[in-house]
Amino acid sequence: MSFEQFRPVEAAGYVPDAALALAVNTALAAEQPLLVTGEPGTGKTRLAWAVAEQLGLGDPLEFYTRSDHRARDLLYTYDGLRRFYDAQVQDARAADPGHYVALQALGRAIAEGGGEAPRRRVVLIDEIDKAPRDFPNSLLNVLDRMRFWVDEVEPRQHHAADLRPVVIITSNAERQLPDPFLRRVVFHHIDFPDAAGLARIVAAHFPPDAVGEGLAARAVERFVALRDALPDWQKRPATGELLVWVRVLTRALGADAAGAVEDAPLHALPCLQALVKTRRDLERLRQTA
């Protein structure tokens, strides 16, 4: 089985570095999910969109993990309550339990990866560390074999992928994931971009004529200084805040934005509300002046 190589070029407004591109390609070659960690704002979730766009696999199928999810919820849901109600009112649909099965992100990708016209999809499993501890281990067989059964339907529905989906899993590292699960994934930690990386991200989102002269470089410089101003942010500004800030500066100050950003102290940067999101952080930033 062959895959197109994922390259460290801009895709879907996302700028992966060479190390991240290598991790994606390692996961493709190993036919294993890619587990990605990194602080908020490093682009873990957006990676799935970049991979899907660059490899021409359509929009990713997304699953946002909650603390009450079971592993089956990633494959399909079964609305037994609706079937019971339909049976009570003698709806003919109730005779077939298949009417109440809805494939979810990974289940849909597996189903679409089989059959007469298989299609490879990208699946995003976001923030898996929010799920119950048994959630990752309950996925092991499915991730290995890319097949599952729908038990509520007789005879049981079987879905299997001839073309394995590209699975990208994110984690905020709020807790350690089980070792059996880690053995079945490729791992990569995304470091927060340095100034050069941030400049590339800004350039990918704002063409040169969309920002004032010198604004992008000065905004990145001041943003890096702001992130380093406090040792223990409650909500440290991330790349998302930087992009919003540049957009707001351009709209609010126009040609004067670059000079205003360069001249202002950190605690009085223009449009600071787009960067600092808690009262405690704002007060402590003022104390550093």
Render each residue's pLDDT in the chain as its tens digit; 289 residues: 456 799 988 887 788 999 999 999 999 999 999 999 998 888 899 999 999 999 999 999 999 999 999 999 999 999 999 999 989 998 888 888 889 999 999 999 999 999 899 999 999 999 999 999 899 999 999 999 999 999 999 888 999 999 999 999 999 877 889 999 999 999 999 999 999 989 988 988 888 777 866 899 999 999 999 999 999 999 999 999 999 999 999 999 888 899 999 989 999 999 999 999 999 999 999 998 7
Measuring CA to CA, which residue among 142, 153, 156, 93 is closest to residue 113?
142
Domain assignments of the chain as residue spans, ordered by start:
18-76+102-189, 195-287
CB atoms closer than 10 angstroms to residue 111: 21
Q: Domain 18-76+102-189, CATH 3.40.50.300 — does that match?
A: yes
Measuring CA to CA, which residue among 216, 197, 198 is closest to residue 207?
216
In whole angstroms, what is the distance from residue 148 CA to residue 260 CA?
58
pTM passes above 0.85: yes
